[in-house]
Structure 1
Amino acid sequence: MGNNFEDRLAVRELVENWAVWRDAGDWERFATVWHPEGWMSATWFHGPAAEFIAASKAGFERGVSILHFLGGHTADIEGDRAVAQTKMTISQRAAVDGVEVDVVCTGRFYDFCARHEGRWKIVRRQPIYEKDRLDPVDPAAELVLDQELLNRFPVGYRHLGYVQTKAGFTVRTGLPGLTGEAVERLYDEGAKWLV
Structure 2
Amino acid sequence: MDSNRTPSDLTSVTQLVLHERRSRDRGWWDEQRECFAPDSTVRVSWFRGTGDEFVTQSEKLAANGEDAAHTVGPPVVDLHGDRALAEVPCRMDLHTNLDDTPVTLSCHARLLYRAERRADRWLIVALDPVYERDSLTSRTPGAQLNVDEKDLAPFRRSYRMLAYLLGRRGYSIEDDLYGDDQPEPVAALHRSAWAWLRGN
TM range (shorter): over 0.9
TM-score normalised by length of structure 2:
0.92
Ranges in structure 2 where 5+ consecutive residues have no aligned partner: none
Shift of 1:101: 0.8
Corresponding residue of 2:100: 98
Shift of 1:144: 2.1
Distance 2:140 2:185 in 1: 36
Determine whether 1:10 maps to 2:19.
no
**Which secondary structure does the structure 1 equivalent of 2:173 belong to?**
coil
Q: Tell me which of 27, 30, 46 is aligned to 2:29.
A: 27
Distance 2:77 2:6 in 1: 10
Is residue 89–residue 107 contact of structure 1 (8 Å, CA) maintained in 2?
yes
Corresponding residue of 1:121: 123
Distance 1:52 1:88 in 2: 18
Is residue 109–residue 131 contact of structure 2 (8 Å, CA) maintained in 1?
yes
TM-score normalised by length of structure 1:
0.94
- Cα 1:116–1:142 change in 2 (3 A) is same
Distance 2:27 2:36 in 1: 15
Shift of 1:33: 0.4
Is residue 94–residue 163 contact of structure 1 (8 Å, CA) maintained in 2?
no
Determine whether 1:194 maps to 2:197.
yes
Tell me which amino acid in the other structure corresponds to 1:34.
Answer: F
In the comparison of the two structures, how many residue pairs are matched? 194
Distance 1:138 1:10 in 2: 42
Distance 2:195 2:150 in 1: 38
Distance 1:153 1:174 in 2: 11
Shift of 1:169: 1.2
Corresponding residue of 2:61: 59
Distance 1:184 1:154 in 2: 18
Moved over 2 A (4+): 146-149
Distance 1:138 1:82 in 2: 43
Q: Equivalent residues in 2 for 1:124-139 (5 A)?
A: 124-139=126-141
Name whichever of 85-94 and 172-181 sits farther off.
Answer: 172-181
Distance 2:148 2:116 in 1: 42
**Which secondary structure does the structure 2 equivalent of 1:153 belong to?**
coil
Tell me which amino acid in the other structure corresponds to 1:106.
Answer: H
Determine whether 1:185 maps to 2:180.
no
Shift of 1:146: 3.0
Superposed CA offset, 1:104-142 (max 9, x none): 011211011111121111100001111111101112111
Corresponding residue of 1:163: 165
Tell me which amino acid in the other structure corresponds to 1:130.
Answer: E
Tell me which amino acid in the other structure corresponds to 1:100.
Answer: P
Ranges in structure 1 where 5+ consecutive residues have no aligned partner: none
Is residue 12–residue 73 contact of structure 1 (8 Å, CA) maintained in 2?
yes
Corresponding residue of 2:143: 141
